[in-house]
Structure 1
Amino acid sequence: MKKYYLLSKPLKKICTLQIFLFAIALSAQSESFECDFNAYLFQYNDIYAIDLASGSSFLVKENIVPGKINGAAYNSADGYLWGYTDSAPKSIIRIGKDFNTETYTIPEIPVTGMNYVGDISLYGQYYFRAGSSTYYHVDLNPESPTYLQYMGSTVLSRNIKIHDWAFNAADNMLYAVEKATNRLYRIEVETGEVEDLGEVPILAGNNYTYGAVYFDLDGNFYVSANQTGSVYVIREVQNITAGNINSNIFAFGPASASNDGARCPTAPVPQEDCKNGIDDDGDGLVDCDDPSCSGVASCPVTFTASTGNNGGLESNDRLANLISNRNYKRVKNNYEFDKTAALKVFKTEAYMKSGKHSPNNIPLNTLIPLDVIGESNTIESAPSDLLELTNASDIYAVDYLRDNETVSAMMVIKTNEKVYEHSKFICDRFLGAQLLSVSTIQLREKDFIKSIIKQPDGSLEFAISFSARLNEESKFIIESHWNIDSYEKEEAYYNFQIWSNSIDDLLSLAEEVLNLLESNTKIKDYKTSMPPPVFVKSAKYEKGQVLMNIVNNNKSENLTLEGGIKRTETSSTEIVGLTSTIDGYLDTVSLETGNMFDFGFRISNGNGDTPDDLFVADAPWGLDDSAENTNVMHYEVKVNQDTYWGDGYPIERNINLSASTSSYVGVYRALSPRFAAVDLSSYSTMSFTASGTGNLEVKLLKSNGDTYSSVVSLSDTERTFYLKNETFTTTAGGLTDFSDLKVLTFNLKSSSGAIEQKTLNLKNVEFSNAEQPRIFLDDDTTKSILSPNPVTEATFLYFFEDQSGSFELELFDLSGKRILSHSQKGTTERGQNRILINRDNLGSGLYLYRLESSNEKIWSGRLLVK
């Protein structure tokens, strides 16, 4: 792991650092491709390199020809890519490793429209077609006497609706999957004979266009769905007999339109072993996290999705305190969303009725899709506590259930002056989720951003967010962006957040939302932006550093980080930044921030692409002043000044509080940013240093709703308290350990029921196995003690005084000579005292000390220096 230090500086003076990442180097450019591992996706006249294992892609060449490219294929006979372009309808083009093109005119090619289906056999024979059953043949084998000649046409034995086909190197047969029927076909290219191998199980029920298909060395057939970008695998198609098809999801890539695929059919594709705990295919996903492991070994086919009742907090500078306040109230009240008690939502005759509502005042519940994903029930799950915390003026949410499990959820949020300030992909990462993938999904042939999120409980969710605003003609403009600041300002919005355990259900729900919007007024335009090619997969704060896992999809070479950091919950924001060089697809980076509370930042690559926004924070402190007749005069969270070197579990940051109350006032501290339970049962002691007024009640709140408390007495004098786990009890006397802790609370209560002044200074909260120190190191308080002794660097001289006063310490060598450099004077306090003696320039040997106090006490002894 690499470490970098984040400095607080004006952004004009951004610190430049170097980040060295591991990378798989691109092979050197040459005239031909020589069968590289990439798949190539042609979209209009742009070319993307696709890693089939991860689904990641990056643009390698824009505007390669004036028109569109289709019928693209890899030629094993010469190592080049070839394709058909509508800008020269009687020509084909050859593409080299440098992505420059050469055009070859072949006059006999019939002009029948765009030839969007094409591939080249192992022997250099190019077969391509448009929408009819007739396909055409051109010889592209440089060793052939008929090289670059038109070889005639053939008619398929049956008409099939396909959008790409590919040769399998294992049997030199063409294969294709038909739209709507999802049937797999094997084609004998010499005769045009079409063999129906049956419906592909993993594709059953889909109505996607499979515009890009590829093979690998083993005869595995990879099929990409245009609308979702999902890549499916059909295993060893050369061995398939009718109805015996082994298929699965393989990866989630970008959606595409007017597309085609090409890949060397004898190049392998890395495969994931689903049970060895290793990232075998290099996509950053291990075992069940990898889509290709769905249903394999012990990996589940589907997961449940999180409820809409937990969603919807804002992704801005107020995020951490808002989530803290909301989650504390839920933990304090032992709140849990009860699906069985939730109101059910039913489809009525008014569903999608046109002209029923004014476009600027649509009831949010009428924008909820119903009966489109085969749900058994739909229930209301709106988190009403968001209205008092966010910029929403109205919120409605539902969960879609199958067998009482949430499989999808959706929130509709109305805002009056700007877009809703929450992004699920930012907030969920803040709460411990991982962003596994970011790419596009197509709604009405427009690119929207989809993300794949792994929640802390292991569930996987596909998510999409977009917003609708009205233009001056009262027509909808649909906007979808990764960055909130990309949305049009000073506009009212209907905001939609949809997430599901199925990408197919996600697409269906999002498409139906657009239909429901259009039942009120037309959609005039779409304004969307692309997802960030470089993004943070996961991040967390821990003991003075932010740990980040970064995904670099487009092989960017530069990265800039800019943001604001707050050292505590109540401090102001510092502007910080750095620039760095990056390389490779995956890396783990440790950013040394020092002690902090939260850090919101933007990561931009050097290519001007969409940046990624992120928010990380430590578990929060919060103020509980909810009781009546409670008035807070001062509340401050203070940063730790010293680095923690212990072997326990420290609770960062300290508290200063002054208030008046007739009931109670307190502070709370979560154990994790998402208020999840933490197991600290390996520790037996909770310690803290505090001063203040009256009794301090310390409470442990557990995930099952149980609370345990212990009480200590505060005074004006600062004191360190050591509370064993057995000192925490319920009102009934029940005992506990430190397992399953969610929240700590420190409450000052009015003892009289009248208004009382309260103060609390609290610091150095820690869980450990430390024992409370004895009042004195030895039961004989007349003795002085050196510890450690012998001395290497420094030692402490301990002694006990009955009352405060002063002292004088002298040090002598064995000859009786006084060592002036080590004479000390100072004050003493009642109780145990200690004096630090540094070795400094003392040589090895034995020395004598004499200590005299103003209370007419004298101590002496020996000091051995190593």
Structure 2
Amino acid sequence: MQKYIVKTLLFILTFIGVINLNAQSYQIKEFGSKNSAKENQTKFSENQDNRVVNYSSLINYLPESGLYNSKVENVSISKELLELKNIKEILSFNYYQESEIVSSVLATKTQGLIYNHSKVICDRLNGDRLDDISTVLIKGHQIIKSTIKKASGKTTYSLRFSIKSGDTKKELFSFWTIDQYPTGFYQNYQIWGTSFTQILAIVNYTIDKHTIEKGLISKKVENILPNVFVRSGVYSNGILRLNIINKTNEREINFDGNIAETEISNHNKVTDSYSLSGDYYDTLSIETGVLFDIGFSIQVDNSNQKDVLYIAEGPWGLDYLNTYATVNSFDIDTAERRYLDDVYEVDRNAIASGEVKGNINLFRHLLPELKALNVEEYNFINFKIINNEPIEIVIMQDEDRAWENRIRYTVLANSDEKEYNISFNDFTDAAGNSVEISNIKTVVFSIIGDYTNYKPFNINLKQLSFRTNTVLAVDKLNSIGNSKLMNYPNPFTSSTTIQLPTTSEYVQIQVYDLIGRVVDAKRINTKSSSSKKVEYNAPQLKNGVYKYRLIDDKNNQHSGTFIVN
């Protein structure tokens, strides 16, 4: 089961991040691999030997140089995509002018169905914007053209088409969705770049090569594009927010989706209809609940064409070598959202158990496509954990940092569930120095053995989040709230009862030391809705004086002071 889960996660990341076609290794120390750099790539040649498996036939249909003497400098394949049953050959490369990429090619050979690269399908929900779709005639063949505004602000153009082998002639198809293509043996080309003339030159070459070889035919098809399509979108806090382009002033749209709550759960089908304003630019909010991924389509009643999209969150996963660890169980479940101000909540919880001799890493990529989350607004990492062995927590930024010099913090074993609020300043490198943390790609929870004997491990991690309300001036604490609270006993060692001024079903409490750092934050349920008392259990706080702020279920704020001895 575990091998299946890891393999599935690997495929998901490959699918949504396929533009980087170098095989992604899940050894933690290789997350920052430089294999995609220009100087590390295989050179283009139409006479490839067996160093790169089974793609020489595709190279024959693509030019060695592009427009304005742009050159191919790197050629790569994806071993993960070659594992898909219908993909027989695959290659990807970039055309450069100096060190700048001006156009890129993804080519595949498939049997049965075509392979449709996820660039338009996925990127609109990951920061890019699809400004227009249209058809163009190239050498007499109708091909779909897309205009995309990248998150960086750069505009790119793409052309995509597939060529089906025939007994006498080949046939070119260019459709918006995969299910419109007839079955057969295909070569699939997806070409994009910053200049339309650059990609047009590549397509002209490819069409000419196929035409000369066997003859190439195609049919012009009317209405092959959707009238309404997603320009851009984002998933956040259980809501899918879509920016729509409505070319025909439609008033209603049909939504059809498949949602998986976690990486290992089944997909559930959802369908609904939503009203539109009829404006060219429109917005649509769809409440999906917490999810790991969703594939969906939107379609209007008077059109046969639908717009299909896919989005996935950054996944949980395990990284280990079979010679150093075994996994008995690995589960992922949905996390209860707290919707607190100034908190970035990471969806879903992870539970794993097994035996370890070397090390095993439970990791969470925070965003899809291994993108980095900007955490400049946050200062603390927060989570709840049960663990029978010490855990080294590693923060991986978007930087070139050796694994041996990783940014780390260690927590001790906890037989009972414990909540941690750890300042970014408490994380250190190999020399013990604090490191400025401005972005995070991956959080790793590492269990390290003695590399001699196996020992059991278990980890149950919940409610991973990042907080911003970290340092609060002590004099400001004294003015917070509608009233000052009393608690008894005071001083106390492990627990104290706080007397509330009004009844409350639950409270949110934050505890600060005398220099204003948050040392604890949690939600506590009272014994009943009519109770005016709440019991606070201190999480192994050092002896001293602490201030606390408490918010009840009516959002009333109160404050108090206690002493831990």
- Normalised-by-shorter TM-score class: 0.7 to 0.9
Measured in 2, the distance between the counterparts of 1:459 and 1:826 equals 55
2:269 aligned partner:
575
Measured in 2, the distance between the counterparts of 1:724 and 1:540 equals 29
1:742 aligned partner:
441
1:396 aligned partner:
91
Structure 2 residue runs of 5 or longer lacking an equivalent are: 1-8, 49-53, 472-486, 510-526, 541-549, 555-565
**C-alpha RMSD of matched pairs (Å):** 3.8
Cα deviations across residues 64-97 of structure 1 (Å, max 9, x unaligned)? Answer: xxxxxxxxxxxxxxxxxxxxxxxxxxxxxxxxxx
Deviation at 1:380, TM superposition (A): 2.4
2:240 equivalent to 1:546: yes
1:498 aligned partner:
191
Measured in 1, the distance between the counterparts of 2:92 and 2:191 equals 10
2:66 equivalent to 1:367: no
Q: Check conservation: 2:131, 2:148, Cα contact below 8 A.
A: yes
Of 396, 405, 419, the match for 1:701: 396
Q: Check conservation: 2:64, 2:71, Cα contact below 8 A.
A: no
Deviation at 1:379, TM superposition (A): 1.6
Partner secondary structure for residue 628 of structure 1:
coil
Deviation at 1:540, TM superposition (A): 1.2
Relative to structure 1, the CA distance from residue 638 to residue 779 in structure 2 (aligned partners, 3 Å threshold; closer, same or farther) is same
1:335 aligned partner:
33
1:672 aligned partner:
367
Measured in 2, the distance between the counterparts of 1:830 and 1:510 equals 67
Relative to structure 1, the CA distance from residue 623 to residue 429 in structure 2 (aligned partners, 3 Å threshold; closer, same or farther) is farther
2:491 equivalent to 1:780: yes
Equivalent positions of 1:768-847 (< 5 A) are 768-769=467-468, 780-781=491-492, 787=498, 789-791=500-502, 793=504
Deviation at 1:779, TM superposition (A): 5.4
1:565 aligned partner:
259
Of 196, 203, 208, the match for 1:515: 208
Give the aligned length: 486
Measured in 1, the distance between the counterparts of 2:17 and 2:200 equals 33
2:161 aligned partner:
466
1:205 aligned partner:
none
Measured in 1, the distance between the counterparts of 2:346 and 2:340 equals 13
Relative to structure 1, the CA distance from residue 586 to residue 318 in structure 2 (aligned partners, 3 Å threshold; closer, same or farther) is farther
Cα deviations across residues 796-836 of structure 1 (Å, max 9, x unaligned)? Answer: 799xxxxxxxxxxxx9xxxxxxxx9969999999999xxx9
2:457 aligned partner:
758
Relative to structure 1, the CA distance from residue 416 to residue 755 in structure 2 (aligned partners, 3 Å threshold; closer, same or farther) is farther
Of 545, 548, 556, the match for 2:250: 556
2:479 aligned partner:
none
Deviation at 1:328, TM superposition (A): 7.0
Cα deviations across residues 300-346 of structure 1 (Å, max 9, x unaligned)? Answer: xxxxxxxxxxxxxxxx9964575489667498421232213434436
Relative to structure 1, the CA distance from residue 659 to residue 624 in structure 2 (aligned partners, 3 Å threshold; closer, same or farther) is same
Partner secondary structure for residue 634 of structure 1:
strand
Equivalent positions of 1:60-79 (< 5 A) are none
Code of the residue aligned with 1:366 in structure 2: it is N
Deviation at 1:612, TM superposition (A): 0.2
Measured in 1, the distance between the counterparts of 2:507 and 2:41 equals 65
Cα deviations across residues 213-258 of structure 1 (Å, max 9, x unaligned)? Answer: xxxxxxxxxxxxxxxxxxxxxxxxxxxxxxxxxxxxxxxxxxxxxx
TM-score scaled by structure 1?
0.51
Deviation at 1:385, TM superposition (A): 4.2
Code of the residue aligned with 2:249 in structure 1: it is K
Structure of higher CA gyration radius: 1
1:202 aligned partner:
none
Cα deviations across residues 487-543 of structure 1 (Å, max 9, x unaligned)? Answer: 223x22211110111122222211211111223322244476722221101111111
- Aligned-pair identity in percent equals 26
Relative to structure 1, the CA distance from residue 460 to residue 829 in structure 2 (aligned partners, 3 Å threshold; closer, same or farther) is closer
2:295 equivalent to 1:596: no
Measured in 2, the distance between the counterparts of 1:738 and 1:828 equals 32
Partner secondary structure for residue 718 of structure 1:
strand
2:334 aligned partner:
639
Deviation at 1:417, TM superposition (A): 3.6
2:103 aligned partner:
408
Of 72, 95, 107, the match for 1:378: 72
Relative to structure 1, the CA distance from residue 372 to residue 826 in structure 2 (aligned partners, 3 Å threshold; closer, same or farther) is closer
Q: Check conservation: 1:722, 1:771, Cα contact below 8 A.
A: no
Code of the residue aligned with 2:273 in structure 1: it is T
Measured in 2, the distance between the counterparts of 1:338 and 1:825 equals 61
TM-score scaled by structure 2?
0.77
Measured in 1, the distance between the counterparts of 2:154 and 2:128 equals 10
Q: Check conservation: 2:388, 2:457, Cα contact below 8 A.
A: yes
Q: Check conservation: 1:322, 1:389, Cα contact below 8 A.
A: no
1:650 aligned partner:
345
Partner secondary structure for residue 122 of structure 2:
helix
Partner secondary structure for residue 364 of structure 1:
helix
1:420 aligned partner:
115
Relative to structure 1, the CA distance from residue 421 to residue 402 in structure 2 (aligned partners, 3 Å threshold; closer, same or farther) is closer
Relative to structure 1, the CA distance from residue 703 to residue 389 in structure 2 (aligned partners, 3 Å threshold; closer, same or farther) is farther
Equivalent positions of 1:183-222 (< 5 A) are none
1:725 aligned partner:
424
1:484 aligned partner:
178
Q: Check conservation: 1:375, 1:400, Cα contact below 8 A.
A: no
When you count helix as a share of all residues, which structure comes out higher? 2
1:292 aligned partner:
none
